[in-house]
Amino acid sequence: MSSADRFEYIKVSLAERVFTVTIARAEVRNALHPPACAELGAALDAFERRDDAAVAVITGDGDKAFSAGFDLRWAEAHPDTYQDPLVGSEIVRRKTIGKPVIAAVNGLAFGLGFELALACDLIVAAPHATFGLPEARVGLAAMAGGVVRLTQHIGPKRALAFVLTGDPISAEAGLAAGFVNEIATDGVIACARRWALAIAECAPLSLIASKEMAYRYGELPDMQAALDPRSYPSVMSVLGSEDAVEGRRAFIERRRPNWKGC
């Protein structure tokens, strides 16, 4: 990685087209404060721009916490923080990142940490991982998209049971509810990389188009519009792409395709 990719609160690496971002604040269980969130945003911007990066994996340093949430001790030293409802939510409020992003949850994912995981496309979790939105227990609310996304994933009744009580959710319960894709028995990073490498074999434009359909169909006026490929600009761009031609040729010739992302 170049010097421009060096950060204070996160670590980044790139291998086999998998861009890994590690929250590196283990001393506070990888709690997030505005400077760390800004670095996460910068890293994901870099990921979007890099032609050599197909999939991102976000995880936390160590094996105790993905992220324990917003850094309340930091906020107490910076009281103006509480006046801004958007503070710390730069990443999770992004409507979508074009390329696929996987959360490798290696421990606690509470509050803003859980919201960050929910903002990713897939979640793989260590067996001891625990999720929760405990903001109501400290006089706050999950303002960074967690309530909305959790409700979308598991429905309002089940989501509110966790949100209104602040009760933690085990990895097993998350898998049963549907917001965890896999419990990693072979190590959470190894599991995330296995998913990432499988995704990276696919055409980049096809991945972007698939994400757009999955996330945007509910914004369209009716089911007819949702089922019409012309409703999705990225889907239409796939049709005339070089990769679409290459994919067909590779299938016929029984070889691996050479994607160009165009």
135 in active site: yes
Burial of 120 (0-12, 13-18, 19+ CB in 10 A): buried
Instruction: Read off φ and ψ for residue 70, nearest 5 degrees.
Output: -70, 140
Can you read off the two tokens belonging to residue 117? 């995981």
How far from the centroid of its chain's Cα atoms is residue 112's Cα?
A: 12
Report which of 187, 204, 185 is spatially closest to residue 257, judged by C-alpha positions. 204
Report which of 102, 107, 97 is spatially closest to residue 60, judged by C-alpha positions. 107
Catalytic residue chosen out of the listed positions 115, 182, 242, 246: 115
246 in active site: no
CA distance 113 to 132: 9
Angle at 8 between CA 34 and CA 105, to 5 degrees: 70
DSSP conformational letter for 88: T
Dump strand ranges (E) for the chain: 10-15, 18-23, 55-60, 65-67, 101-105, 108-110, 122-125, 130-132, 169-170, 182-183
Burial of 146 (0-12, 13-18, 19+ CB in 10 A): buried
CA distance 194 to 130: 22
* Residue 171 to residues 31, 147, 174, 186, 188, Cα–Cα distance (Å): 20, 18, 5, 15, 12
Catalytic residue chosen out of the listed positions 135, 172, 182, 212: 135
Positions marked catalytic? 115, 135
